[in-house]
Amino acid sequence: MNKQFFKFIATSTTSAIFNFSFRILFNHWLTYSQSIFAAYIISTTIAFILAKRFAFSNSTESTKKSAIKFIIVNIWGMFQTWAISLSMVNYILPTIGITHHTHEIGHFLGLSSLAISSFMGHKYFSFKTHKSIQESA
């Protein structure tokens, strides 16, 4: 584990808090599944700004190129979050006897599952650096 990973976890946690909060808000008007997608769209913008500024500030990619790649990685993350969240709510949590706050628990676990896959995707795809910069970090 390196300093960049911990910066990424800090920025991702901040973004996840926004994601979680917006999902709860949107759940007043949308289904659980729809609110996961809607919240993820908003939090992706927050995540990009924070990741570009703090975790991957040494990136040599243009902001536009990084943003496009970031969205591609986050589309995968959105489906990963959605699949895990719904699996937890509909199958796993009821099977182990958890019946209260299942939407919150499922969504939290879905978001948490992204820590490693998102870091790897963003480090090696969204915010690539030239080899000489990576070696000095």
The per-residue pLDDT for range 72-107, each reduced to its tens digit, is: 999 999 999 999 999 999 999 999 999 999 999 999
113 Cβ neighbours under 8 A, 6+ residues apart: 80, 81, 84
Tokens 């690539």 found at: 128
Render each residue's pLDDT in the chain as its tens digit; 137 residues.
Answer: 589 999 999 999 999 999 999 999 999 999 999 999 999 999 999 999 999 999 998 888 889 999 999 999 999 999 999 999 999 999 999 999 999 999 999 999 999 998 888 989 999 999 977 553 444 44
**CA–CA dist 129, 56 (Å, integer):** 9
- Using an 8 Å Cβ cutoff, are 79 and 33 in contact? no
pTM: 0.82
**CA–CA dist 66, 33 (Å, integer):** 28
- Using an 8 Å Cβ cutoff, are 111 and 82 in contact? no
